[in-house]
Chain A
Amino acid sequence: TVTDKSDGGPIPGVSILVKGSSIGAQTSVDGKYSIAAPANATLVFKFVGYTTKEVTVGSASTINIAMDQDSKQLGEVVVTALGISREKKALGYSTTAISKEELTKASPVSMMDGLQGKVAGAEISSQSGAPGASSKVVLRGYASVSGNNQPLYVVDGVPINNTASSSALGVAAGGSTSTSVSRTTDFGNGANDINPNDIESMSILKGAAATSLYGSRAASGVIIITTKSGKAGKTKVDFNSSSTFSSVLFTPTLQSLYGQGWDGSYDSQENGSWGPKLDGVNRVWGNTVGGQRLSKPYVANTNRFNDFYTTGNEFNNSIAISGGTEKNTFYLSYGNVSSDGIIPTDVDSYNRNTFALRGSTTLGGLKASASLNYVTRGAKAVSTGQGTNTGATLFQELIQTPVDININTIKDYNNVYNNVDNYFTPYAQNPYFTINENGNDFSSERLFGNTGLDYKFANWISAKWTVGFDVTDSKLKDWQAVAAPKVGTPNASKKPFVGGVQENSDFRKEFNSDFMVNLDQKINSDFAINGLVGFNVNQREARIVNTRVEGLILDGFYDLSNSANAPASSASYSKRRLVGLLAQANLSFKDYLYLTVNARNDWSSTLPKDKNSFFYPGANLGFVVTDAFKSLQGSTLSFAKLRASIGKTGNDASPYSIANYLTAGSAALGFGQLNFPLNGVGSFEVSNQIGNPTLRPELTTEYELGTDLRFFNNRVGIDLAYYNKTTKDQILAVPVSAGSGYTSRITNFGKIENKGVELALNLTPIKGDHFTWDATYTYSKLNNKVLELPNGLKEVVLNTAYGVDMVATVGQPLGVIKGHAAKTNAKGQVIVNPSNGLPIVAQDKVAYGNINRKFSMGLVNRFTYDNWALGCSFDFRKGGLMYSYTSRLNDFVGNSVRSTLNDRRPFLVPNSVNEVIGTDGKVTGYVENTTAINMANIGDYFNQTNNNSASRSQVIDKSFIKMRDLTLSYQFPKSLVGALKADNASISLYGRNLFVWVPKENSFIDPEVSTFSNDLAGEFGEFGGGPSVRSYGVSLKVGF
């Protein structure tokens, strides 16, 4: 019997060979084998994932062996493109394989959440601390300005829908390029529907050589997920249960010197802290209600956020039953996540149920398999942005509370002093009203899976046909309550929130069919060749219907009928198809030189009919030096491999990009719009975008060089990769001069280069019988550059807010952040307005920096002592700028620490002058400025509307170091679990994102937070985003 040394279980399918002969055998389902071997022969036991073992037969008739799992993953099998398992040793490109243990260590809800900082070359973030928030995964940098840089997720060989279910007001879901600042809500992305406990393994394919078999869908990398399936043998039951609690991690730091007021004077109606110095003296505050006024001491309450936020919780339970026989296997699982975030009430909650059913059966050479997953998701999420006329948004209102107001005193938002009529300020809404009265309900149902038929014609040829599908139907209802102060009340001057209801229905369907023929031939003892040819058909459809109405007539009733206004509706459909032919050949020579060449040709429906065919080749070479030159191998150098690869991938266009269209009549006003029909007259107008009948696909060419080195009996491992990837012919609606009659045209343009280095260092500093210390260090550095833009175009604005732009400029990294600067003279002196001392704004904006990291690094440590394991990981991302509206608003209301500049006494802008203007209006010279910014204008100095150049300080360094997880787990000894009739059991304590360190200038927001999207547009920063959270919990895993 062949067993696994670590758990004692039988290993089926182990190949056994009599060394130096062709006599062979295989173990059965229960690990048994028999072989007719001559005496004194040597048996070689080989199985993927285990160290090959040689045993001399001698005279024994029964040889039981226990095989060692290959801890250093030499001979490790990774799943590559199209679900093909290959020995990692044979690959000529870098891949990162993630084990199920790594994925579920800290019981994350989303599979990507456990991986932050652990994969070199992958930037993984969560959009916010809210339950179910979207994950952002960017592999090897932003390459596409079109805004789609998320990798392709492939589950069991079938691509799945990873659309982000975000909602921007009036805009249907899926806005990967959302730039809305009004009301945005994030309900998570499609890949987060997968239960991490169902995953057997994950491979992250970063480079084009690894992904080019996916052709026009793989430009941003591919994440290959293999789910668990049943294994022959005893029926197993696995149970996981975890309970997690969360609290607020990062909130703005407030000044504690000055209290409510404006322009230096106390004003109990103000929404800011521009009042006098806090003196602790009792003052009346708020409005007079029924002749009465409240009073309170004029002191800082900087505990605001801890008082406001509550403890969140998350319960994650799953059970899986699996098993089978030699011929049939099954796997059945159910998982439930139920969580409520840190915002009071359940306005930030997330519920997910996942059902998975997989089975396979074998009949002679035919293997049939099927996988079915059903996911329901229900969520409520707090909207971000600055709100609209229908209702306010939470974070915007929370910030506009003077520092001396104790948040607990306004909690009862129905209290006469805190209600809509009498709330202390007419400039903001009671945040408790916002969360209790405005809300949303998101729900989605999703069914995805595949069926496969696999037939082995002969040892060297087999065919496989897989049909996969992914259907998601989601619904969103979003509402805001009427908040209209009554005439004659203190807040009567406030503009009422008219209330509104929005219904959104979003249906997506993806169908995928792959037919593949696999060939495998050993030519002679040195050469082997295997390969495949395949045919792929893919179709993606979407149907989105959005209806909203504003101006509600009945309070507290949320339905489209509840308004005097007609609802505004829109519908959009899209359908795209892709056909691909592909082939791959793997050649190996003497088990140390491996060459793979592959090619794919795609035909896409979104490209012009006669030019919709595109070719994506790739090749990679792996050379195992230590196998070629055995003499090099020794106690110092255990393993050395060199890799080289080159590949091409692409990105086709969005549907309907090649023609010119009419759009429903509408006129943009600056704020708001006029929408037809207008009083019985309808209209269509010429779209402001010009289509392009000559589009080509976006192409990425990448080459990669790398090495995999192991030293000291595999105790030290170095995996180093250098890549150079150039993406050209990007497809984008490029802005054009409005003088042409249009504002954008769809075109192929530009060239963007991403060059980088990735290093993964695996160390086992201590390896003893009881105690082991493993560590992994990763480092990535990326240089990104825009090489070309189309003729005449100096820059392309990618996102913008309050005068700050994120742009693509030739010769610069993608995502330069630019904004206003103070006007200066030739000597660099700041020109100020002599009437108020405020800097005058320069006509042209200047570059502040860019969004890109200088480098990222991660450190993972794992200590094991017998059954105990302690692990922790750190994620360090250095450099890059982001726009922060939270910073802007804190400055505006005088709550930020920097607003106490010069103790709020009048000051002269340093090195400032006034222009001397001649009679002809021209500047004739400069005189020293003597106008100090007085108390009335200090607020304006920090108000970006008045002092445009203040936007520089509202663009902040987004560097951070986070402690991503800290886990302590204990594996119960066999003796104990055996008594419970269990096979294994473990308990873990864990913490996620326990600590964060940021540069001093960022006293506002967790730099990972973004409100724009989980793609390039989101790198711009945040607009009224929420806080991040730290979590801690306990989990129990039991297997029977």
Chain B
Amino acid sequence: ALLTTTACQDFLDVNKDPSNPEVGQGQPVSVFPAAVASTAGTAGAQYAILGGIWSQYWTQSATANQFKDIDAYNLTASSLNNTFDEVYSGALNDYQFVIKKSEASGDWFYFLAGTVMKAYTLQIMADLYDKVPYSEAFQGLDNLTPKYDDGDKVYAGLIAELDNALSKDFTAATNSTPGTRDIVFGGKVDSWKRFANTLKLKMYLRMINAKPTEALAGIQKLYTDNVGFLTTDAAMGAGNFQDAPDKSNPLYEYNNRRLNTTTNLRASTTFMSWLKANNDPRIASVYKFGTGATTYSSLDQGDFNNLQSTAVRNAISIANTTPLAPVHFISTAESYFLQAEAIERLTPGAATAKAAYDAGVKAAFAQYSLDGSSFIAAGGKYEYPVAGSFEQKLEAIITQKWASMAGSHALEAYFEKNRTGYPKTSTVYSNNVAYIPGQFVYPKEGVTQGLFAKRLIFSDRDRQRNPNVPAMVSLTTKVWWDVK
């Protein structure tokens, strides 16, 4: 009886962590930046490496090892489990916290920002895995085994969430004005609206072949409502990074600062041959010379077991990743390319399509402070095929989009290749004289017998923890929107 007295219980009341605040003390403005960094740190690092190799900008160096499993399509259910976990617990759950907290306080600024980033991040996951936890996700102890939703259901849900967030009153006094603590747009709500709308456009286009009616109607509505699309980068930008440990561009941090070999990512012949064939100056921005080299050279995709001499292998150009490069969520160029395609689908031949395409190419060059005007001018290498068929126009748009994404944004190019088939796939390997520069080749050491990787395999770590993980689906099975 003595010990159940208050005095004793007070003596035992020391179980409050002095080093970490309790969760109730969290506010959107303090939680949001870490969540954005998690999106940038996954989409812009591990997934950018995967996307960059599968988009054939880069291939695994023959003098190193790190990404052989990606380049050979030799991923298993235990590959990339950490990244899946980081996205859900490090990014999405924090967005959900921001959404809930801001909804309760009528802070529609953060309600929108949180919703847009959640939608952006989840859409990537749905595209990578086809089915992901969504409707039952982020419930903590209330649901420890959320079911996986079909990709199209995830899309529909996210679009509805975006519409709801866009409908709020952003002039209300309850809105935050975070300024620079909004590390994406510096607190500009108009930019967040544009991001929301451009993201919707991207999602409608992504589902255009699988659900054409619904997709076209959605795009039509965006244009009818005359919403604004992004004219600036939606990105975790250069200003957010420093050239310092644990502070730089995540792809650089991962691939250059932390890996013991910084030359794993070498130039793939696929992209480099295209840049060379077009005399494109971006070659010097996306690659750097290999050891002792003074010219750009490349390795055929997946040919990391060749028997060339060490000197030749070392001389192959290396992916030029830099500490201050932005992580684009949707780049300006991408926004224009999305618009160009949308316009061609809604109003074929409209002059605004060419204008959007031209703006896209210029924005793509401008990413590296280069001027792309001469390339889109009449007779230029990348002149818009005004007179061409829809497919020729689509090929031009998607090829230029592909050319704009070598870096932290590489994953998006991989999705677009799967959706549209562009750049085309070669019938011969890239060391063949008949090879057409820029066409995708099946990686030399690929283990899937000629079939390209189309998705990621459900995480076996999640399978151990959640009986609702769907049955195993192979890496080469297409996702729901990949029906062309």
Determine whether the beta carbon of B310 is less than 8 Å from that of A737.
no
Determine whether the beta carbon of A612 is less than 8 Å from that of B76.
no
A661-B20, A675-B247, A845-B460 given; A670·B254 CB < 8 A:
yes
Chain A residues contacting B74 (CB-CB under 8 Å) are 840-841, 948
A663 part of interface (Cβ distance < 8 Å): yes
Interface size class of B (residues with CB under 8 A): 35 or more
Of the residues A269, A605, A685, A794, contact of B15 by C-beta under 8 Å = A605
Main secondary structure of the interface of A (DSSP, over half): loop
Number of interface residues of A (CB under 8 A): 104
Chain A residues contacting B35 (CB-CB under 8 Å) are 685
Q: Which of B104-112, B132-140, B413-421 contacts A (4 or more CB under 8 A)?
A: B132-140
Chain A residues contacting B37 (CB-CB under 8 Å) are 665-667, 674, 676, 678, 683
Interface hits, A578-631 → B, CB 8 Å = 579, 581, 601, 603-606, 609, 612-613
A609-B12, A736-B144 given; A684·B30 CB < 8 A:
yes
B25 part of interface (Cβ distance < 8 Å): yes
Q: Give, as a whole number of angstroms, the nearest-CB distance from A804 to chain B.
A: 11
Chain A residues contacting B253 (CB-CB under 8 Å) are 669, 671-674
B3 part of interface (Cβ distance < 8 Å): yes
Number of A-B contacts (CB under 8 A): 317
Q: Give, as a whole number of angstroms, the nearest-CB distance from A825 to chain B.
A: 15
A551-B245, A679-B241, A915-B449 given; A686·B93 CB < 8 A:
yes
Q: Which of B153-161, B271-279, B472-480 contacts A (4 or more CB under 8 A)?
A: B472-480
Determine whether the beta carbon of B146 is less than 8 Å from that of A740.
yes
Q: Give, as a whole number of angstroms, the nearest-CB distance from B73 to chain A.
A: 10
Of the residues B78, B88, B141, B257, contact of A389 by C-beta under 8 Å = B257
Residue in B97, B240, B307, B447 whose Cβ sees the most chain A Cβ within 10 Å: B447
B262 part of interface (Cβ distance < 8 Å): yes
Q: Which of B368-376, B389-397, B462-470 contacts A (4 or more CB under 8 A)?
A: B462-470
Chain A residues contacting B133 (CB-CB under 8 Å) are 737, 739
Of the residues B19, B94, B254, B310, contact of A267 by C-beta under 8 Å = B310
Q: Which of B39-47, B209-217, B348-356 contacts A (4 or more CB under 8 A)?
A: B39-47
Determine whether the beta carbon of B89 is less than 8 Å from that of A741.
yes
A605-B15, A663-B20, A845-B78 given; A737·B144 CB < 8 A:
yes
Which of chain B's residues has its CB closest to A549's CB? B245
Determine whether the beta carbon of A656 is less than 8 Å from that of B41.
no
Q: Contact string, A434-463, partner B, CB cutoff 8 A, digits 1/0?
A: 000000000000000000000000000000
Q: Give, as a whole number of angstroms, the nearest-CB distance from A833 to chain B.
A: 5
Chain B residues contacting A389 (CB-CB under 8 Å) are 257-258, 260
Residue in B15, B17, B146, B472 whose Cβ sees the most chain A Cβ within 10 Å: B15
B379 part of interface (Cβ distance < 8 Å): no
Other than the given A737-B144, A833-B445, 10 more pairs (CB < 8 A) read A573-B17, A667-B41, A672-B253, A683-B31, A738-B462, A739-B137, A740-B138, A741-B92, A792-B144, A937-B305
Q: Give, as a whole number of angstroms, the nearest-CB distance from A822 to chain B.
A: 12
A688 part of interface (Cβ distance < 8 Å): yes
A658 part of interface (Cβ distance < 8 Å): yes
B226 part of interface (Cβ distance < 8 Å): no
A670-B46, A679-B240, A687-B23 given; A605·B461 CB < 8 A:
no
B9 part of interface (Cβ distance < 8 Å): yes
Chain B residues contacting A670 (CB-CB under 8 Å) are 45-46, 82-83, 254
A634 CA to B41 CA, complexed, in Å: 79
Which of chain B's residues has its CB closest to A940's CB? B305
A259 part of interface (Cβ distance < 8 Å): no
Determine whether the beta carbon of A659 is less than 8 Å from that of B22.
yes
A495-B261, A670-B254 given; A686·B242 CB < 8 A:
no
- The chain B residues found within 8 Å of chain A, CB to CB, are 3-4, 8-9, 11-23, 25-26, 30-35, 37-38, 40-42, 45-46, 65-66, 68-69, 74, 76-78, 82-94, 96-97, 132-133, 136-141, 143-146, 148, 180-181, 183, 239-242, 244-247, 250, 253-255, 257-263, 291, 305-307, 310, 314, 444-447, 449-451, 457, 459-467, 469, 472, 474, 476-477
Determine whether the beta carbon of A685 is less than 8 Å from that of B34.
yes
Determine whether the beta carbon of A737 is less than 8 Å from that of B146.
yes
Q: Contact string, A460-497, partner B, CB cutoff 8 A, digits 1/0?
A: 00000000000000000000000000000000110100
A745 part of interface (Cβ distance < 8 Å): yes
Q: Give, as a whole number of angstroms, the nearest-CB distance from B470 to chain A.
A: 12
Chain B residues contacting A386 (CB-CB under 8 Å) are 260
A797 CA to B85 CA, complexed, in Å: 15
Determine whether the beta carbon of A741 is less than 8 Å from that of B254.
no
Determine whether the beta carbon of A688 is less than 8 Å from that of B90.
yes
Q: Give, as a whole number of angstroms, the nearest-CB distance from A741 to chain B.
A: 3
Q: Give, as a whole number of angstroms, the nearest-CB distance from B322 to chain A.
A: 15
Determine whether the beta carbon of A741 is less than 8 Å from that of B462.
no
Determine whether the beta carbon of B307 is less than 8 Å from that of A263.
yes
Determine whether the beta carbon of A669 is less than 8 Å from that of B68.
no
Interface hits, A405-422 → B, CB 8 Å = none
Query: Can you name 17 A-B residue pairings with CB atoms under 8 Å?
Result: A493-B314, A551-B245, A667-B37, A668-B90, A671-B253, A672-B250, A673-B253, A678-B242, A685-B90, A736-B465, A740-B138, A743-B85, A797-B461, A835-B444, A835-B445, A940-B305, A946-B68
A565-B244, A662-B21, A844-B460 given; A269·B291 CB < 8 A:
no
Which of chain A's residues has its CB closest to B148's CB? A739
